[in-house]
Amino acid sequence: MRMASRSRTALARAAEHAAALGCITDVFDVRQLDLPVYRPDWVLAQYPTELVTMLDAVRAADIVLFSAPTYHGTVSGAVKNAIDALDFLVDDDPPYLTGRVVGLIGVGGGAAHVLDALAHAARAFDAIVVPTHVGIPGDAIDEAGRIAEPTDQRLRQMIVAAIALARRMRHPDRPSSHSEVP
């Protein structure tokens, strides 16, 4: 939720890598979504219109990225709340994130716990989780938003893997390798 969010910085950088590889990207910031706590008995019209925009983008996506900071050893409540709102995809055909590729980014001390929590959430929505996860130590992104080179390379590797997997999902008869993506 902070203005200089490192998890938002990492997500934006991953989106830049995806765009450089020919993907169309959207980045949704939990601060800008400003969602109330998810309430399963509410209808979508009771939420901010930004949620509708996010859900439409997710519906159109082949790849979805989850990026979260570490708060008290797990995913922040704001990020989890946005993920919970994906429950509005239940009546889609296919429902939720079925068949979509999800990449995971966790930031801060305890990022491994965040990555585990995000992976559990993605699988609960029937997503296919990219094996290349990105755990980012807090000091790998400085106050100016500069990302350490090894971390930036790992973000790119995750995007390359996600694109290759998404292509494989769209064309199951075609062999796939990371070398397909420049």
User: Number of folded domains in the chain?
Assistant: 1
pLDDT score of 180: 47
> Which is nearest to 140 in space by CA: 75, 87, 69?
69
Averaged over successive runs of 10 residues, the pLDDT of the chain (182 residues) comes to: 78 97 94 91 95 96 96 93 96 96 95 96 97 94 93 98 93 52 48
φ, ψ of residue 70 to 5 degrees: the values are -90, 120
pLDDT confidence of residue 182 = 47
pLDDT value for 3: 55
Residue 170 belongs to domain with CATH number: 3.40.50.360
Domain membership of residue 60 (yes or no) is yes
pLDDT on residue 46? 95
Residue 25 lies in domain: 6-180
With b for 16 or more beta-carbon neighbours within 10 A and e for fewer, the 34-49 pattern comes to ebeebeeeeeeeebee
Output the pLDDT for position 169: 86
pLDDT of amino acid 170: 81
Instruction: With respect to residue 1, please indicate whether it lies within any of the assigned structural domains.
Output: no
In a domain, 53, yes or no: yes
